[in-house]
Chain A
Amino acid sequence: MIDLSFFIFLSSGLFLGWSLGANDAANIFGTAVTSRMLRFRTAAILCALFVIIGAVISGAGASHGLGKLGAVNALAGSFTVALSAGLTVYTMTIWGLPVSTTQAVVGGIIGWNLFSDSPTDLASLSQIAGTWVASPILGALFAWLIYLGLNGLINLTKPHLLWLDHWTRLGLVLAGVFGAYSLGANNIGNVMGVFVSSSPLQEIQIGELFALSGPQRLFLWGGIAIGAGVFFSRPVMTTIGKGIVPIGPLGGWVVVVSQALVLFIFSSTSLQQFVTGLGLPPIPLVPVSSSQAVVGAVCGIALARGIKGLRQIRWWELGKIAVGWISTPISAALICYVLLFIVQNVFEQQVFIGPSGSNAGLVP
């Protein structure tokens, strides 16, 4: 039987998952819902279902990558890291600053490392920071390639409007499902990654063939939290279509596929093995910002449209994202450090287990 206190500590991660679902689901099914080809309810059910599947089946890769930065080894510490990330996202959103949950979580872990006097693996940190820059660039590259390919295919085959529309509708649903799966697989690391080392959950057997490992049970909870958040994403979904550059349903499909590919690349262990098998350097498996991949993809479409598209890009918005790469983790690290101090000294909770074990991290 799991202690109730586990769920109390897990609540900050679940809240982070809920807010991630409420915000990022819009990137996946926003176009399908705003163009009224899918009812919000249908989109939300599909999105929640595949987020959970992605989190449980493929969530380990990105979550493990985040763990290399710092293995938060006490439940109260994990709670505080997730809470500080949530507070950072909330505060920066209120102030209108660009923010990513991924970057806030990384900042939180660094804050915990500083507080617990654990070393921060600079190689991992630079790898993770590199993915922040790479994800919008990759998003742009994928969108640019897919857009040009799709445009060429349409010009070549000249499909009837009705058939094009038919395939677009089907494509939006399939891309949404793929996007939801990738979001679950990649971003579950943000939500539950900091709890993996401290979680008391053990493997359970369901029936004869099916088993859920401890981390997978954790990811299932996180996935459910994200899935629950999806049902609150309606206001964000209805505004997503009116973004940086005007894009139609087909453009929306390109954005969703590009974003899903970026998230998939940074969370698929099979792909990583395939790449290393080719003698190439391994792809780092870490959570990346889906919103920034979307911004990159939209810019990729604008680039593919040539000068007219370039003029439509709000370059200032891109600059603000780059500023967020620095400001978000620093803010989260500071908030986390202060909160860890409070949790440890005011609430007398063990926020880390030191090298000697047992009582470390608690005020004597």
Chain B
Amino acid sequence: MADFKFSPFRTTRIVQSEIQEFLDAVSMAVLAYQEGMIAYLKEGWLVAAEEKLQQISSYESRGDNLRTHIGLTLYTEMLLPDTAGDVLSLLSDLDHLLDRMRGHFILLGIEKPEFPIDCNEAIIDFISHACSAMEHTVAAARIYFRDPKAVHDQIHKIHYHQEEAEKFLIRLLKSIFTGNYALERKCHLRDHLVHIDRLADQADETGDAIAIYAVKRSI
């Protein structure tokens, strides 16, 4: 005979821990992406970068599964539909960040762009700002679930890092396009830098969305 235990709060507890796990996955993927990019810039596509790709892929895959399960549970068993819509959009935006990070890292492993060594420091700063924007977005998402009024404290940090990342992008593009490189290399490098910048932009857009969801949560 099946062991039946009645627990009206069980689903809520499970979904709460799944959301927590999903946000952890995004946060760790951001760290892995940053370390992987730095490893690639310093050593090229070696074991360290390959390991980071595996890590990012596993986080992305876990994130996908969690998001699907959370979405199904939210819509079928709990949450007022309006709130469920906001939560799912938020998780979807963050999942998009995971996809973008993994997508770019796969391209990096395939195309292996040759970044000029004298640009390395600026590229590391550029990546650092893009990753900080993403980390603050994850932090804003965590705060949204507990204390929506405090979300604003993270939003301005996301804006700051996104703007800084954009400045670095422009500076790097100017430096590369005024340098003595072949046009195809310039375009190749530009594509990869734009990929990184898109991560910061996506983080910024997600931050703005979280700010709106937080306002909607006021009673």
Interface residues of A (CB under 8 A from B): 35-37, 147, 150-151, 154-155, 158-163, 165-166, 168-169, 247-251, 254
A37 vs B82: C-alpha distance when bound (angstroms):
10
* Beta-carbon contact of B80 and A150 below 8 Å: no
State in angstroms the CA–CA spacing of A166 and B11 once bound together.
10
Whether A161 contacts B144 in the complex (CB less than 8 A), given A166-B9, A248-B216, comes out as yes
When A35-B81, A248-B218, A248-B219 are in contact, do A161 and B12 touch as well, CB less than 8 Å? no
Query: For the complex, what is the distance from the CA of A36 to the CA of B16, rounded to whole Å?
Result: 22
22 pairs across A/B with beta carbons < 8 Å? A35-B80, A36-B80, A36-B81, A37-B80, A37-B81, A150-B219, A151-B219, A155-B149, A158-B147, A159-B146, A160-B145, A160-B146, A161-B83, A161-B144, A162-B79, A165-B78, A166-B9, A169-B78, A247-B219, A248-B82, A248-B216, A248-B218
CB A259 to nearest CB in B, in angstroms, measures: 17
B219 near A165 with CB under 8 A, answer no
11 extra A-B contacts, CB within 8 A, seeds A160-B16, A161-B144, A250-B219:
A36-B80, A161-B217, A162-B78, A162-B79, A163-B16, A165-B78, A166-B12, A248-B82, A248-B216, A248-B219, A249-B80
Bound complex: CA A151 to CA B147 (Å):
12
A229 CA to B82 CA in the complex, in Å? 29
Task: Verify A161–B219 contact, CB threshold 8 A.
Answer: no
Task: Contacts A151-B219, A154-B219, A248-B219 given; indicate if A161 touches B9 (C-beta within 8 A).
Answer: no
Interface SS majority for chain B: helix
B9 proximity list for chain A (CB < 8 A): 166
Interface of A is mostly: helix
Measured CB to CB, the closest approach of chain A to B163, in angstroms, equals 29
User: Is B15 part of the contact surface with A, judged by Cβ < 8 Å?
Assistant: yes
Interface digits, B129-163 against A, CB 8 Å rule (1 contact, 0 not)?
A: 00000000000000011110100000000000000
Chain A residues whose C-beta falls within 8 Å of the C-beta of B196 in the assembled complex: none
How far is it, in angstroms, between the C-alpha of A168 and the C-alpha of B82 when the chains are bound?
13
- Decide yes or no whether B97 CB sits under 8 A from chain A: no
Is B169's beta carbon under 8 Å from chain A? no
* Residue among B12, B81, B147 making CB contact with A163, cutoff 8 Å: B12
Asked if B219 contacts A169 (CB within 8 A), the reply is no
B80 to chain A: which residues have CB within 8 Å? 35-37, 165, 168-169, 249
Q: Are A147 and B12 in contact (CB under 8 A)?
A: no
Q: Does B87 contact A (CB under 8 A)?
A: yes
Q: Which residues of A contact B87 (CB under 8 A)?
A: 161
Taking a contact as CB atoms under 8 Å apart, the answer to whether A158 and B12 are in contact is no
Given contacts A160-B16, A162-B16, contact A35 B219 (CB under 8 A): no
Contacts of A154 in B (CB 8 A): 219
CA gap between A247 and B15 in the complex, in Å: 26
